[in-house]
A and B are shown apart, each in its own frame.
Chain A
Amino acid sequence: DMKVTQMPRYLIKRMGENVLLECGQDMSHETMYWYRQDPGLGLQLIYISYDVDSNSEGDIPKGYRVSRKKREHFSLILDSAKTNQTSVYFCASSLDRGNTEVFFGKGTRLTVV
Chain B
Amino acid sequence: GDSVTQMQGQVTLSEDDFLFINCTYSTTWYPTLFWYVQYPGEGPQLLLKVTTANNKGISRGFEATYDKRTTSFHLQKASVQESDSAVYYCVLGASGGSNAKLTFGKGTKLSVKS
Contact = CB atoms under 8 A, between A and B. Distances in A.
Please determine whether chains A and B interact with each other in the same assembly.
yes
A61 B51 CA distance: 30
A53 interface: no
A42 B89 contact: yes
Contacts of A33: 100
B97 A104 contact: no
A92 interface: yes
A56 interface: yes
B43 A97 contact: no
A107 B43 contact: yes
Interface in A23-63: 31, 33, 40-43, 45, 48, 50, 56, 58
B45 interface: yes
B interface majority secondary structure: loop
Contacts of B105: 42
A97 B100 contact: yes
Contact of B97 (A99, A102, A103, A106): A99
A104 B39 CA distance: 12
Interface string B15-55: 00000000000000000100010000111111001010000
A1 interface: no
A49 B44 CA distance: 19
A112 B45 CA distance: 27
A99 B51 CA distance: 9
17 contacts: A42-B105, A43-B89, A48-B100, A50-B100, A56-B99, A58-B101, A90-B43, A97-B94, A97-B97, A97-B100, A98-B101, A99-B94, A101-B46, A102-B44, A103-B45, A104-B43, A105-B43
Given A43-B89, A48-B101, A58-B101, 16 more contacts: A40-B106, A41-B106, A42-B107, A48-B100, A90-B43, A92-B43, A96-B97, A97-B97, A97-B99, A97-B100, A98-B94, A98-B101, A99-B94, A99-B97, A104-B43, A104-B44
Interface of A: 4, 31, 33, 40-43, 45, 48, 50, 56, 58, 90, 92, 94, 96-99, 101-107
